[in-house]
Structure 1
Amino acid sequence: MLNTLGNAAYGFTDPPPNKPLVRAHEQQRAQVAKTRDIQPLKLNDKIQQYSVDLSVRYIKDPELEMTVKDVIKLKDEQFKQNLKGPLNLGFSDAAIWTKTTLVYTGEQPESRFLIEVDSTLIDHVEFYLASGGKVLSRDYSGYNTAFTSRPIGYPSQLFPFTLQQGETVDLYLRMESINSMHIPIRIFTPIGLAQHISEVQTFHGIFIGGVVIMLAYNLLMFLADRNRAYFYYVFYILFYLVFVTTERVHGLQLFGGIPIFLHKKYLAIYIWCSWLGAFSMGRHFMNAATYMPELDRVLRVAIHATLVSIFISYFVHPAEAIQWAVIGTAVGTGFIAYFSYTAMSRDIPGAHPYFWAWAVNFTGVGIYTLTIMGELPFNTFTEHTPQLGIICHLILMSFALAERIKKAQQQVILANASAMGHLKRYQDLLDNVAEGIFQISLSGRFIAANPAMVSLLGYRSADDLLTHSDDAILTCFEDPRIQRKVKRSLECGDSIQGLEAQLRTRNGTLRWAESTIRVILDEDGRPAHYEGLIVDVTEKVEQEKSERDHKEDRLLRQIAENSAQAKSQFLANMSHEIRTPLTAIIGYGEALLDESSSKQNRTDASNTIVHSGYHLLELINDILDYSKVEAGKLELEPLPVSVPEIIADVLQKMAPTMRANGLSFEVIYDTDLPEFIQTDPTRLRQMLLKICKYSAELTEKGTIQLRFGCSKEQQLLHCKVRDTGQGFTPEQLNSLIDHFTQVSPVVAREFGSIRLAMSLVHRLAEMLGGALTINSTRYEGSTYSLDIATGALIDTRWLSEDALPAVPELPKVAKPALDIEENVQFNGTILVAEDNPANQALMRLVLKRFGVTVDFAENGQIAVKKALRQHPDVILMDHHMPVMSGPEAINELRQRGYKGTIISFTASDAPDELAMLEQAGSNGILAKPIIHDELVCLLTQYLTPQNITT
């Protein structure tokens, strides 16, 4: 590859001329060296071949605009002289014009000559013969010119011309090529050309024939041995042969034209493919991964770079591709030389012939390069050194591969003999070890077992075990789940390491054993069988179990004691929290009984009672919710939830509280938010309101900030509440999300209700696929981070900040704009089914102010009779009543055809009880205690307002 690539890079493809031409060439060179002035090249009938190289003057035409007339008009001083060897201008986009003066001094009246532009890959060549400023003849040829269209059918460009005795002419050539412009030029007589073509074709036939023979030989060796090094070597020779055929344009001679797969635009690809084979063959032949890991890494990089270069060369311009291939060849040559020398210096098997094979190849290329540069004389040896080098390279490399395989076979024979010697020692060791050792076939049967294995499983002998055990996995593992796990692992090629499980012996005894099983592969890398080691660990397991039971007993006692203490503290704290609002309710209730109190005092007492009652209600609801969470009875109802609606609801409820406390309230959106997520809307709203409420209670002045974001990848909605309040100490912070944690009594009393609320939020967040984290700095503020799982976010719409709610300027209430203090009157009748006299009195007092007609029933049975007789506009039906409960009464009414409005009210929020009310036929549900605003909304929905004063 290297010698022909060098020719392609420099444009030199044929061997140099014979000895007469060498002498003429040397004489002409000596004359030019003396005079530094180019004399006309004298042609006669006695010399059959002439080298024109040192008689050439040239000029570049970068714009490709000069014509032959323009060039004829130029003076000799405007041309550059070629002073050494063939014309060599490298890669150039310019057109090259050459001028050579010829004079015929032969004895014949006229004589016929042929000029050869010895470059098979040159794109365009124009031939002009001129005298006295006039063009006498012209011709054209080029790379894509078919044989039938060429002046002479030959891969190089040939142009015939005739000279009269004593005639002096100027010969002009115009040349363009995307390849390197290294162009030897010769002139032949017809006889000299015939001799030259015969010699060249004979030599190339022998050379290519030798390459084909080596290709066939190594291909047969690969098919016989299946060695990967042979495969890559065949790959290398094949693409080297394709490269030579392409570079020599043999397609013209074989097909009359150039077939597409032998076109020179693929020349760079064939160069890179040859290097791919050379690198891969060297890596496997030298076993670089084992002997030279540092160079193996470089080889892998080179192989990948070669693959990338092959791909890129297909798409870039051929000129750029061949230049890159030349650079790669230079780098690859240096690396191969260093790689082969390093392998030889480390005495790697086969490295010496490998090194000398490449050394011979590089030496041939080096001698030929010096020859075409004019540093060495042309002779029979120098003109054939590249071809001799590559042939020697192929032969030495083939011998090296064969020798390496022979040594490998000898090593296998010696290894087998050694293995047989070790086999007996191994068998003795196997029979005497205490651990069970076995082999299992791929079908799952025992194929070998040592005495310890046979004894552990309770069999008499190895033959007995192999005969009566149909499934080795079932024999070694008692638990069906472990049996399936082991089978899946082994089928996937995974090993079993230190698996501790029970097995049942042949007599039915259960024992604990620790097993290790691995897959054994054959030479082709396919599973051959399984090999395992098993150790009886029954005593160890029983001892560990005994110790573990004692430790667990101690731990359970400690946990029980700590839990009892924490729960006692919790009950004490909750007692304190419940008694606080009850004290206010009872105290201010007694104050209301004092008729001497002023109206303002009675109003203040009423407000305090209502506020304390709401606080007590929230505390009781938290306790009940947390009790359900702890008992695992709190059921969530994931629904498609509108994120903007949830945020707007929280902002509307909290904004008045924030402004009443003198706090700044703001909302920030860190990212776009999904329009809908899948979660429980009630619990999400409950968590956000609790965090905002307690954040506001612990902040005397400053700002409460809500931040919202969403992670599409993690499918989490991020909610953060930041305040500038008093913050928490580390002890307080550690106890916030676990109210059973033991803390000091001071902390327990001070933060009893917020510990319960944050613990509830934490547990609800976990149930909704998220988490609550709290960060705080004492006297600087706190940050509550709530993450909630969103469910799949594939089809939802994403909303920017402009489409999301802002903090309302005024409180907004999502119910009818009715003031409960106003004089609101309704038309209609209401039947209240309630067994508690105090609740009856309260309902009579509340409903009386709205102007409706009210009747009462002490139980569900009476309510059914009155409803069927009176047909009230609305029935308010309590859930738990004597004689007949609320659901039973509703069901009875519906079965008897009653179609009026029935609203259930209950203190229970159990999902099954609420579902029972809906199934019975309730039109709606009111929660106890009944909130006046909710009652007004209900009356507005089912009764007609009489008048609303504003």
Structure 2
Amino acid sequence: MKTGNASSSERRCPEKSHDEQSLILQLKNLQHVYHRLLMHMPDGCALLSRQPGSGKEEEFFIQEVNPAFEDMTGAAGQELMGRSTLQALPELATRLNRACMQAMGGTQPVDFQHFLSSQAKYFEVRVFAVGENICMGVFSEVTGRMHFQEALRESREKYRTIADFTYDWEYWLSPQGEFLYISPSCKRVTGYTPEEFKYDPDLFRRIIHPDDLPLLNCLKSCDHELQQESHSETDFRIRTRDGREVWISHSCTPVFSETGEYLGRRGSNRDITDRKVAENRLQEFAVEVETQNLELARARNRAQEASKAKSTFLANMSHEIRTPMNAILGFAQVLEQDPDLTPRQAGHLKTITRSGNHLLRLINDILDMSKIEAGQVQSSPEDFGLVDMLEDMGLMFSSRAEAKGLQFILERDRHLPGNIRADQGMLRQIMVNLLGNAVKFTSSGGVACRVRTEPAQDTGEKDDSRLRLTIEVEDSGPGIQEIDQQKLFEPFQQAEEGIKEGGTGLGLAISRSFARLMGGDIEVSSTKDRGSLFRVHILVETSTGPPRTEKKPERIIQGLQPGTGPVRILIVDDRLDNRSLLQAILEPMGFETRQAENGAHCLEIFQDWPPHAVLMDMRMPVMDGYEAVERVRGLPGGRDCFIMAVTASAFEEDRQEILNTGVDAYLRKPFQNVELLEELGKGLHLQYIYACNDAPGENAAGPHACLAAPGLPGHILEDLSLAVSEGDILVLEKIAGKLHRTDPDAADTLLKMIQNYDYRGIESWLKQVEEQNETQYAEDTDDN
């Protein structure tokens, strides 16, 4: 039995041993897994236990630590094992032991933060019970996060310090969209306090104008979108507590940590209502300006159209008047050469010529004023003799003054330069207008002209060659009322005396415009019944070069030199009277002529009868002169033909346009016969016979170079006396032309003195002729 019993007991022992071994093996496996987990945990782990009944129940001992714990604390595991927390971790022991006691006495883990000064590290520690008298402590290092939070706190404090005193409304939004900070100035801007915005998160959205809500990125609901946004700026409107609409300039910037962590957004709002009001006013003003500019543009276009229409009208008017005037004055010149004219007929011709020239001067004044108003007149400086020009003016107007019984005085400063550089034509016209008016409106007393120069100190330029030329014209005439002085220089305006005497009222307006074009002006001072003083000042330069010589009138042409051969001239004009005039001038001189009434007719004649020269009118029906010139140049011999435009156009731009067509010369209607002949002579290289058989370039002689024959008609003497008294060069030249048929010697003598502006010589010559006539009359009486 023992044996049996013993055998049975022996058979059961191996089974128990096997179960135990299995449990032991499982335990070992769990221990191995636990150990591996512990060793690879990123956080520091320490297994702590206490020894009950030892009298040190609140003291815990370190049973095991992982490598992460060793790295965090800086202590090796062998140094820590079996040692109490007080021995191994004296800085941490008290708090760690207390946490272990709390964890074992409850069901929840215990958390705390601790700064380990020996390692200068922050830890978050979690302690929980894992068995009876055993706890596990898990240590997470949060040094970086704690430093950042401290920096963030300091930054917020600085931001708060600045923002609390800023004029703008500042705020800081958390990543969740909550207001972390709002500056007190928000109440000034919105009427709401910072607390109202913090406790009512939707208040900010509600006060924004609905139309402007889409503009605000800071109000996006998706935090991810906010993080992707860079700095943004926009303007929007809000409604304040008291109902005002306020414009806000908003800027918003995302805030990130050094490691790139998104911390929220900082925003700034500025009240820009005043600026927006100003901008709106500026925009309204800009719209008004744009509207005004459009109106100005329309007005400018209308003005340009009106100016163009005016120019077209003036051009047409000029053409329509100059064309018949050309025939009137031209045929008058032809008739004046008729030796069979009676005194009555000669007087009628003189009236026709004077009236025609007067009308022509009026037209020219109107055209000049039109060009000035259009800005088409410019000063053209040239070198000329100032003293010579003043002597011419003195001779011209002293005769006129003496004829009216007036005294004429010309005073020149002794330092006056002999030659200057300025626009001689403008200066001469100014003086003619002022001196002419002075003589015209003065019935007793006299006229004085004073001329001086001084350095031009007010030009802003240091230039010794620049001078200020001052011309004063003073008379003892009727004077000008103050009310008339104000409008005296306006176009078509005249004083009371001017209205009585007639005229266009353009002379002074043109003179002032010319003076201003030359850098000066004209002033007037006058007292009723005590005369007037006109003062002109212009800027000139002293001239270092020789003065431009005045072009002397050519002597009277009698015809082509013998042996010249046939010279064929084709006259092209749509008006018969113009063609007839040119024919009447040319054929007596020995030219052969044919006539064409338009450009097409010109081309037909040109091919059958090749001319040496073509006198081409430019405005004609069927084919005008512009096309005709181009077509003629394309015909055989057309390139060598001399083409002269003979036109009534009075505008310089028309002249340039005509010259650009390829014509060789330009002659404006009405013209002097000698001008036509001179141009043909130059273009065709012709030689003429002149009165007295002198060469055309010979210097003018004295009054005895070609003595006048007795018997000069009395009406011619009267015309000469009147022309000399008025200083009318044009009339004197015409009388000389009239004389050359009957008395070439007398005509030549007169022409020479006209060329020298020798009015006193002409007067002396007239007295000599009168004496010869009286002597001849006495001799005839004695014979009878």
- Measured against the shorter chain, the TM-score band is 0.3 to 0.5
TM-score (norm 2): 0.41
Rg larger in structure: 2
TM-score (norm 1): 0.35
Higher RCO (C-alpha under 8 Å, 6+ residues apart): 2
